[in-house]
Structure 1
Amino acid sequence: MNPVTIGDYLKQYRLENGYTAFEMSLELDVYNSTIYKWENNLTKLQGNNLNKIIEFMGYDPRIQNKIKI
């Protein structure tokens, strides 16, 4: 997988670390359907949710991988 968007990076992180979408939704305090929307780039990540993901993953893929959002 060659991630391009934050949703792509989120999905890659989830799969590499053995999380289900439901488990990740519990960690990020969002609905399971929200994880699906983020990973499939149906909804943009913004504000507090973006900060939660950066904290959860331990890095900011926008900076580390220089993606455009």
Structure 2
Amino acid sequence: MTTQAFNVGDAVRKHAGYEYPGFIVAVFTTRAGAVRYVVEADHPAFTGMLHIFNGDQLELRASAPSA
């Protein structure tokens, strides 16, 4: 079982690969016990899109949207 590193409302971004800045809108645990985060994008190109990440893919950021 993994521990929760982020909370609903936290401003985060995916730290590697494609850009994905947003806000945590939900936190849940899989049946296997892994914590997952639903991030709602706030990037102008895909505002409102939801994506599920594990905690290792995310890092905290300033709450202002990316340009």
Could you state the TM-score of these two structures normalised by the residue count of structure 1? Answer: 0.25
Q: 1 or 2 for the larger relative contact order (CA 8 Å, sep ≥6)?
A: 1
Q: Hey, which of these two has a bigger chunk of strand by percent? A: 2
User: Which structure has the greater CA radius of gyration?
Assistant: 2
Could you state the TM-score of these two structures normalised by the residue count of structure 2? Answer: 0.26
Q: Hey, which of these two has a bigger chunk of helix by percent? A: 1
